[in-house]
Amino acid sequence: MTSQGWNAPDLRKRNRAGILRLVHRQGDIARNELALALGLTKAAVTILVNELIDDGLIVEAGEQAGARRAGRRKIALRIRPDAGLILGVGIDAERVQVLLADLSGAVLGVRNLPPPRALPHAPALGESEDGIMGARIAAAVYAAAAKLAGGTGFSALGIVGAGLGVTGRVDEERGVSLREPRLWSAPVALREPLEDALKLCVSVDNNVRALALAELLLTDARSESPAGLLFVKYGPGVGASWTMGGTPWPGAHHRSGELGHTVVASEGPICPYCGRVGCLESLVSAHALELALGRLEGGPKNHAAKRFGAGSRTDELCELLRLRDSAAYERLASRFALALGNAIELCDPTAVVLYGTPFRQGPLFDEIARRVEANERPCDIRRSAMDPALPALGGAALALERFFADGGAACSARI
Ligand SMILES: [Zn+2]
């Protein structure tokens, strides 16, 4: 954009982006509906849609149902799912995950790698922990992506971009993990080494913000995309993302969405992440549940307590707590509902989506929703449509958003 306003190529890109986003979201939309929604003339939409059809990004999918009754034929437009592939990466304390998906979010392949500190050492590209860790991750992701690509070059295969969601505080503009004590002790630049290794543009953001975007872009919920979405992830910790008009808000200091570190009790252990007493995560995290169950079993040295050690899934721990200490389980649901209720009061969202293994099955979702709904807020609370075993979908959504924002142009970096 120039200082005087939009120039012609910028306008064209912006309008192509608008069309791609709307067609993707609606999955079945006619040219005149696009013109109306985007404030463009029908002639301008026709030119741009023809371009996108010629580029292979959009296809005509037959006549819209019921369109004849309205008079003129209306041809539905759809994104071609195989018009491009996106590479998603997810990093948390349990693993690095790399997946390949098409533009509809259908997953074509997944590789799970060890967590960052357990990755093999790459040839050192820097002396600092930052440089070494970034290089290790980039080398491992490249190797996994190459296996997913089956020996075909990334651009030849049609990969149009990559995205990475990582736990902790992230500067999404610079692609740097600012703080994640569970993974590293200093900031780690991630975008630059990944772009160097993959020769693709890589968008980087906090994992929960990335997953909120995936909920909006890569699931069937996209056709009814809520104007204001509060997306909450549980397991092993608690995180959230506040999304307005389809864009997750990172916060003025990259700290938005720390629902897990809002205080819901006057006592409890000191949280190792925020340093407070009584924050939600310190009371309901997988680690907190392990400790609670260990105490029930007679102390952390008790043999039975070791069963709840590293690797226990948060959903299994919640279920054990429900069976063995119903009062503690009720407190968990009440504290979660209290934090959610406060967030709903603040944000007034259209919908709250709960993501993570504890909400997939079992009664916890209903227990929490019932308590929040008791506040009589006009807010739809629902389960996420995404499989918690695929955290890298968040990275894929970042890549797709970038692809659309660029008007459907593949983004290659540093070739
Ligand atoms: Zn905390």
pLDDT of residue 66: 60
For ligand 1, the distance from its centroid to the CA atom of residue 208, given in whole angstroms, is 16
43 lies in the same domain as 145 = no
pLDDT at residue 35, as a whole number: 95
How many whole angstroms from 271 Cα to the centroid of ligand 1? Answer: 5
Cα–ligand 1 centroid distance for 256 (angstroms): 14
Last residue of a domain, one of 53, 79, 105: 79
Distance from residue 260's CA to the centre of ligand 1 (Å) = 6
Place of tokens 């997939």: 360
Q: Is residue 415 part of a domain?
A: no
Helix (H), strand (E), coil (C) string for 20-81: HHHHHHHCCECHHHHHHHHCCCHHHHHHHHHHHHHCCCEEEEEECCCHHHHCCCCEEEEECH
Please give the distance, rounded to the nearest whole angstrom, from the Cα atom of residue 278 to the centre of ligand 1: 8
How far does the centroid of ligand 1 lie from the alpha carbon of residue 397, in Å? 28
Q: Ligand 1 centroid to 279 CA: how many Å? A: 5
| 311 and 376 housed in the same domain | yes
Residue 288 CA, ligand 1 centroid: distance in Å:
12
Asked if residue 248 and residue 131 are part of one domain, the reply reads no
> Ligand 1 center to residue 254 CA distance, Å?
16
Cα(232) to centroid(ligand 1), Å: 15
Whichever domain contains 399, its CATH number is 3.30.420.40
Instruction: Residue 18: give its domain's CATH number.
Output: 1.10.10.10
174 CA to middle of ligand 1, Å?
A: 26
Ligand 1 mean position, distance from CA 265 (Å): 12
Is 2 inside a domain boundary?
Answer: no
Domain boundary among the residues 79, 104, 123 is at 79
280 Cα to the center of ligand 1, angstroms: 7
Task: State how far the Cα of 247 lies from the Cα of 236, in Å rounded to an integer.
Answer: 25
Per-residue pLDDT of the chain (415 residues; tens, 9 = 90+): 445 566 888 899 999 999 999 999 988 899 999 999 999 999 999 999 999 999 999 999 877 666 555 555 688 999 999 999 999 999 999 999 999 999 999 999 999 999 998 988 765 555 555 568 999 999 999 999 999 999 888 988 999 999 999 999 999 999 999 999 989 999 999 999 999 999 999 999 999 999 999 999 999 888 887 889 999 999 999 999 999 888 899 999 998 999 999 999 999 999 988 999 999 999 999 999 999 998 777 655 444 444 544 456 999 999 999 999 999 999 999 999 999 999 999 999 999 999 999 999 889 999 999 999 877 777 889 999 999 999 999 999 999 999 999 999 887 764 4
- Whole-angstrom Cα distance, residue 208 to residue 214? 10
pTM score? 0.91
CA separation for the pair 242, 248 (Å, rounded): 6
- For residue 238, report the distance from its CA to the centre of ligand 1, in Å: 9
Distance 75 CA to ligand 1 centre (A): 52
Flag whether 267 is in a domain. yes
Among 119, 86, 145, CA closest to 396? 86
Interval between CA 259 and ligand 1 midpoint (Å): 9
Q: What is the pLDDT of residue 227?
A: 85
Which residue range(s) make up the domain with 275? 224-383
* Spacing, Cα 204 to ligand 1 middle (Å): 24
Query: Domain check: are 192 and 244 in the same one?
Result: no
Residue 312, domain member (yes or no): yes
Query: Is 410 within the bounds of a domain?
Result: no
Co-location of 368 and 256 in the same domain: yes
Do 93 and 192 have their domain in common? yes
369 and 236 in one domain?
A: yes
Q: How far is the CA of 302 from the centre of ligand 1 (A)?
A: 27
* Residue 413 resides in a domain: no
In this structure, are 360 and 229 located in the same domain?
yes
Rounded CA-CA distance 97/118 in Å is 13
Q: Quick check: is 278 in a domain? A: yes
User: In this structure, are 207 and 259 located in the same domain?
Assistant: no
- What's residue 410's pLDDT? 80
The predicted pLDDT at position 340 comes to 96
> In this predicted structure, what is the pLDDT of residue 127?
52
Q: Does some domain include residue 141?
A: yes
278 & 340 share domain: yes
- If asked whether residues 72 and 106 sit together in one domain, one would say no
Task: Among 79, 104, 119, identify where a domain stops.
Answer: 79
Q: How far is the CA of 141 from the centre of ligand 1 (A)?
A: 30
Q: Which residues contact 70 (CB under 8 A, 6 or more apart)?
A: none
Q: What is the pLDDT of residue 129?
A: 59
CA of 261 to the centre of ligand 1 (A): 4
Number of domains in the chain: 3
Query: How much is the pLDDT for 124?
Result: 53
Query: Is there a single domain that holds both residue 48 and residue 156?
Result: no
181 CA from centroid of ligand 1 (Å): 13
